[in-house]
Amino acid sequence: MATIYTHSDANIRKTWFLMTAFLIVVILIGYAFSWYFESSVILYVAVAFAVLMNVFSYWYSDKIVIKMTKARPISRESHREVWNLVENLSITAGLPMPSLYIVDDPAPNAFATGRNPEHAVVAVTTGILALLDRTELEGVLAHELSHIGNRDMLVSTVAVVLVGFVAILADIFLRMTFFGRGGGNSRDGRLQLIFLVVGIFAAILAPIAARLIHLAISRKREFLADASGALLTRYPEGLASALIKISEFGKPMKVTSHATAHLFIANPFGAEEKGFKSKMNKLFSTHPDVSERVAALRGT
């Protein structure tokens, strides 16, 4: 039977795979640099960089996202209803009480982040508190706690950091290939051309790879969190109604980016578009259609 911990172990394995892949890629790039420029120091720097970035992204992922979204902490005294709802749901789910934050934004939305349940964060916007009633808000908060229980917010947050650094490395590679002189006369000109082509492809494919990772870790986990949240509250209609209200708001958030968009319960860039453009955007969206999520919750 499904529980709040469904796929937790699988998502932990995905996180370690992602971090290991990042380490290998950076070392390979560092090796290519050191061989091309005949300097072993570059390889040592690349290894140190990869290790430090893995540690940094794991331990400080929640702080990075909070900083990017300009969220601020709240207390029981300042937001009693939200605090009580999260506290009761955490007890029901068998999870530690997460830190609570609020984003000053009229657009209704929410997200969860953090490396594990003991260091988790749940954030809501001022807009979602104004728009939803108690049962709808409870459904949203249960959805976010499900992300924490399923451990899928860790792989999502780590992906934001690691993929970003891979893109930076690709750009550095491209620039060094353009302007570097390599090992002098000992290198054939065709070799420099090969590295130039590789650098160009790396710079082009890095953002595409980032987008594909976002897609892979976002859509399926939203359906899973919806189901786990409904299981937690025993009232799927609350979340279904909340998703409809959020989608009908239409306006984008004031502070958001494509790097953090997949963390939110709904697309932070606003209402879904219609027609051909909607079909194209659906291919690259980090969120499933609201209509599909509502239908799944209602069993229709």
Q: Give the pLDDT of residue 73.
A: 96
Q: Give the pLDDT of residue 276.
A: 39
Q: Give the pLDDT of residue 100.
A: 97
DSSP 185: G
Task: Indicate the pTM of the whole model.
Answer: 0.71
Q: Give the pLDDT of residue 174.
A: 62
Distance CA 115, CA 131 (A): 30
Distance CA 66, CA 135 (A): 26
User: Does residue 248 carry a catalytic annotation?
Assistant: no
Rounded alpha-carbon distances, angstroms, from residue 236 to 135, 182, 207: 10, 61, 36
Distance CA 238, CA 297 (A): 10
Catalytic residue from among 144, 237, 273, 292: 144
Please report, for the chain, the start and end positions of each structural domain, with discontinuous segments joined by +. Answer: 8-298
Q: Give the pLDDT of residue 6.
A: 44
Q: Give the pLDDT of residue 261.
A: 78
DSSP 264: B
Q: Give the pLDDT of residue 106.
A: 95
Q: Give the pLDDT of residue 50.
A: 65
Distance CA 95, CA 117 (A): 7
| Residue pLDDT, tens place only, 68-96 | 899 999 999 999 999 999 999 999 999 99
Give buried/exposed letters for 154-173 (b at 16+ CB in 10 A, else e): bbbbbbbbbbbbbbebbeeb
What are the residue ranges in the chain where pLDDT is below 70? 1-16, 18-19, 22-23, 26, 29-30, 32-33, 36-37, 42-43, 46, 50-51, 53-54, 57-58, 152-196, 198-219, 258-259, 271-286
Are 59 and 115 in contact by the 8 Å Cβ rule? The answer is yes
Handedness of CA 126, 128, 130, 133 (dihedral sign): negative
Rounded alpha-carbon distances, angstroms, from residue 78 to 82, 111, 112: 9, 19, 20
